[in-house]
Amino acid sequence: MNTIKVTLIKSMTGRIPNHRLCVKGLGLRRIHHTVEVQDSPEIRGMINKVHYMLRVEN
């Protein structure tokens, strides 16, 4: 399967609890932390929900 690189670029402080859980579910822990996740509809949905805090690369 394809993978996507996701980087957290904004702080989670003061965010909606569901958005914080999406970031945690993606495996991101701190600002400028990058993870590679599988490209699936579920992951894409999580990324779309918190797109304003992330940088996404193919």
| pLDDT of amino acid 1 | 74
Let me know: does 4 contact 51? Beta carbons within 8 Å: no
How many structural domains comprise the chain? 1
Give the integer Cα–Cα distance in Å for 15 and 4. 24
SS3 content of the chain, % helix, strand, coil (to 5): 35, 25, 40
Question: What number of other Cβ atoms are within 10 A of residue 17's Cβ?
Answer: 7
13 lies in which domain range? 3-57
Provide the residue type at 51 as one letter.
Answer: H
For 10-55, the pLDDT digits (tens) are 999 999 999 999 999 999 999 999 999 999 999 999 999 999 999 9
| CATH code of the domain containing 49 | 3.30.1390.20
